[in-house]
């Protein structure tokens, strides 16, 4: 018997509120705990739940999570299906096929599976060369990880597959492990935690991969997200095209991706600013590795600083392009209003650093609680308050390997402005 199917013998049946029914019908992948009206028995995290509507018609099938406010994550709606080996194989084939031709030959670091928007609610898979990283945001995936691993091995034959967990998921898995060892809860076959290796051997946490002909490293176990911000690949390309002959300041630089592209694009100097020393070290390694091969005439500096303070304290340096790509400022809805103010503050600080004859501001946001309109308006508001002339160059969103199929999934937005 399959691991995932062994979790329960009898399928869990749910009924949900009318508004939740409508939401599911229009493709929303989440059913919240407070919209569950009836559950046939107490469900266990990781089992399959089937939702019927008021007229007893099949509505959806999904992964049940007994603890998360998102009680069921929809796998399929509209037509009944068996969640068996064939189901997972077809689904993985579909995700892989959707990436065909998307990133080109010079790139082997990209997102293979993008959660809900790819039919894998709460699960992403990133590829870094020969290594795959599976990141789960719900413990409901725990009983199904063997399946996911087998599909990835079948298609990619990777040297290693690493498991990463979102914070809430990690905590839920730990709680369950404690309950199991105390004789309570479900005993799972997987003694897994954040950073476990699901398949093969990971020789080094630092995994090399290629992006548009450049060479980067991803820190797949200790790094943020899955080890590298693959979602900014297309924006890095744009920054490359805009950087010729300019001094480029890369704030919230992490491992320096934007700076490496800027240098290849002809920047005379790049400055990484980040609060994290390990991030700056990774930025230096990524820069040196490529600069050596490319023979670029570009110098690099790494500054360890809080960007907000740095903007307050540094006199205008007159740089030609500045990238502002901070971490999420609003992880929860109540933080939204303050996040919008912070984005405006950052944009004002960045504008002050730009030279007066066409300096370029590249401002990005990855807060899903801040809408595109709110973010763009906060940056444009900062431009207006600066009293400088400005023209908008471009607005961008998600790259093709990071599709977003519902409002909460659309987190990434970026705006390019030229200031006089």
| Sites of contact with ligand SAH (CB under 6 A) | 224, 229, 232, 252-255, 257-258, 274-276, 279, 306-308, 325-327
The closest of 363, 120, 105 to 213, measured between CA atoms, is: 105
Q: Cβ 2 to ligand SAH, closest distance in Å?
A: 38
What's the CA gap between 4 and 62, in Å, rounded?
13
Nearer of residues 253 and 290 to ligand SAH, judged by Cβ: 253
Nearer of residues 244 and 278 to ligand SAH, judged by Cβ: 278
Q: Cβ 363 to ligand SAH, closest distance in Å?
A: 11
Beta pairing partners, 64:
72
Nearer of residues 96 and 400 to ligand SAH, judged by Cβ: 400
Q: Cβ 171 to ligand SAH, closest distance in Å?
A: 22
Nearer of residues 15 and 111 to ligand SAH, judged by Cβ: 111
Q: Cβ 360 to ligand SAH, closest distance in Å?
A: 16
The answer to whether 136 and 166 are in contact (CB under 8 A) is: yes
Q: Cβ 391 to ligand SAH, closest distance in Å?
A: 24
Region of 318 please: left (phi>0), alpha (psi -120 to 50) or beta.
left
What's the CA gap between 282 and 305, in Å, rounded?
16
Q: Cβ 368 to ligand SAH, closest distance in Å?
A: 15
The closest of 206, 75, 233 to 148, measured between CA atoms, is: 75
Nearer of residues 82 and 222 to ligand SAH, judged by Cβ: 222
Instruction: Name the packing angle between helices 336-353 and 372-386 (round to 10°).
Output: 40
What's the CA gap between 219 and 164, in Å, rounded?
12
Nearer of residues 226 and 232 to ligand SAH, judged by Cβ: 232
Q: Please tell me the chain's helix, strand, coil percentages from 3-state DSSP, rounded to the nearest 5.
A: 35, 30, 35
Token couple for 58: 């099949």
């Amino acid at each position: 018997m399959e691991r995932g199917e062994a979790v329960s013998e009898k399928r869990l049946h749910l009924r949900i509120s009318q508004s939740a029914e409508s939401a599911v019908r229009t493709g929303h992948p989440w059913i919240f705990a407070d919209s569950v009206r009836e559950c046939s028995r107490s469900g266990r995290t990781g089992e399959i739940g089937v939702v019927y509507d008021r007229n007893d018609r099949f509505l959806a099938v999904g992964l049940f999570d007994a603890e998360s406010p998102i009680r069921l994550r929809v796998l399929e709606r509209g037509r009944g299906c068996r969640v068996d080996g064939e189901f997972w194989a077809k689904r993985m084939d579909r995700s892989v096929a959707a990436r065909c031709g998307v990133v080109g030959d010079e790139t082997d670091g990209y997102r293979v599976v993008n959660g809900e928007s790819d039919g894998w609610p709460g699960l992403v898979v990133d590829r870094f060369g020969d290594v795959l990283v599976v990141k789960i945001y719900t413990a409901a995936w725990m009983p199904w990880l063997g399946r996911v691993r087998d599909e990835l091995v079948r298609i990619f034959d990777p040297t290693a597959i690493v498991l990463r967990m979102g914070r809430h998921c990690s905590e839920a898995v730990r709680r369950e492990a404690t309950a199991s060892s105390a004789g309570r809860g479900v005993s799972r076959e997987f003694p897994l935690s954040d950073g476990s290796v699901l398949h093969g051997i990971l020789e080094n946490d630092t995994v090399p991969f290629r992006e548009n002909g450049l060479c980067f490293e991803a820190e797949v176990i200790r790094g943020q997200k899955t080890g590298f911000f693959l979602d900014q690949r297309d924006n890095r390309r744009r920054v490359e095209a805009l950087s010729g002959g300019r001094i480029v300041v890369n704030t919230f630089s992490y491992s320096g991706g934007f700076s490496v592209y800027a240098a290849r694009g002809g920047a005379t100097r790049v400055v990484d600013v980040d609060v994290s020393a390990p991030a700056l070290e990774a930025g230096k390694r990524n820069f040196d590795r490529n600069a050596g091969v490319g023979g670029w005439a570009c110098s690099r500096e790494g500054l360890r600083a809080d960007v907000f303070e740095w903007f307050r304290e540094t006199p205008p340096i007159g740089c030609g392009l500045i990238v502002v790509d901070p971490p999420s400022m609003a992880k929860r809805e109540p933080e939204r209003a303050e996040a919008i103010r912070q984005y405006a503050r950052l944009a004002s600080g960045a504008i002050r650093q730009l030279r007066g004859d066409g300096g370029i501001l590249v401002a990005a946001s990855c807060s899903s609680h801040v809408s595109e309109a709110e973010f763009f308006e906060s940056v444009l508001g900062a431009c207006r308050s600066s009293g400088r002339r400005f023209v908008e160059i471009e607005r961008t969103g998600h790259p093709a390997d990071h599709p977003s199929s519902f409002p909460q999934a659309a987190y990434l937005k970026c705006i390019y402005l030229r200031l006089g």
